[in-house]
Amino acid sequence: MSFNKEIAVKEMLLRESEEFHAPYVSEFDFYYAVKNGDIEKVTKLCEEDFTEKSGFGKLSDDPLQSMKYHFTITAAMLARYAIEAGLELESAYGLSDLYIQKCDKLRSLHELSELHREMTLDFTKRMSALRKSRVFSKQVVLCVNFIFENLHRKITVSELARYTGLNPNYLSRLFKKETGSTITDYIISKKISTAKNMLKYTDHAVSRIAETLAFSSQSYFTKIFRSIEGMTPKKYRDLYSFSTELGTGEG
């Protein structure tokens, strides 16, 4: 690869001003749509030219080179989200590397935007096929989709029951039978999974992460996080933040 991927990622992660970052909600909404295999939603999101989106930091004086860096970051993030949702590690990273290599050979922003759309839909279609291979009832699929789309607020069993048209007790039994998890535990696990990504890839304060994911308080969020991960959110960030993985020394 002719451009330095690690430097691009470091520069993006170490910027302190919010103006350099795409808005959190829309950014993670995009990744979760891909992760969930939501082809219709991703297709719509990709209607906007990747190279014309606001919020990207300037990572190179050359506009094309700068967007190649951002493309590389996106490819790496897509691979990680896909792996979390069950795509084999080798397949996810192999796909990411393939598109990064294609990106390196491009000579225009238009070509880069088209490749971004191709890559994103490729990941999304693979995740859609993966999810369809898992046999869930229509009601449980509706629940799972609703949960992923509403992690930023409090979700109740009663609300899901109204959404699916089922009795709350029946829905709870059905969900547990098909997923192996209670609805409440499933919601918490997905919120913590999202929190882990925020701790790894953003510099948002723990209090902001707790608020974004609709935990009642930072202390409650920390308690739940520690019970699942065996450490506090701060300790998790110190150990696993992307900047630490790249050897920046930042925690």
Which pLDDT tens digit goes with each residue over 186-209? 999 989 988 998 898 788 999 999
pTM (two decimals): 0.56
Reported confidence tier of residue 2, pLDDT bands at 50, 70, 90:
very low
**Do 102 and 35 belong to one domain?**
yes
Please indicate, yes or no, if residue 250 is contained in any of the structural domains: no
With beta carbons less than 8 A apart as the criterion, state whether 106 and 112 touch: yes
Q: Give the pLDDT confidence score for residue 26 in this predicted structure.
A: 63
CA atoms within 13 A on the CB side of 197: 23
The residue among 132, 155, 189 that closes a domain is 132
CA–CA gap between residue 191 and residue 185 (Å, rounded): 10
CA–CA gap between residue 199 and residue 236 (Å, rounded): 7
The residue among 132, 163, 192 that closes a domain is 132
Reported confidence tier of residue 21, pLDDT bands at 50, 70, 90:
very low
**Do 17 and 126 belong to one domain?**
yes
CA–CA gap between residue 82 and residue 191 (Å, rounded): 16
Please indicate, yes or no, if residue 159 is contained in any of the structural domains: yes
With beta carbons less than 8 A apart as the criterion, state whether 64 and 109 touch: yes
Phi, psi for 100 (deg, rounded to 5): -65, -40
Name the token pair of 210: 């707790």
Reported confidence tier of residue 135, pLDDT bands at 50, 70, 90:
low
**Do 111 and 198 belong to one domain?**
no
Domain total for the chain?
2
* The residue type at 173: R
For residue 154, the enclosing domain spans 138-245
**Do 161 and 102 belong to one domain?**
no
The residue among 132, 148, 181 that closes a domain is 132
Condensed to tens digits (0 to 9), the pLDDT of residues 39-83 reads 999 999 888 888 887 667 788 889 999 999 999 999 999 998 888
Q: Give the pLDDT confidence score for residue 142 in this predicted structure.
A: 86
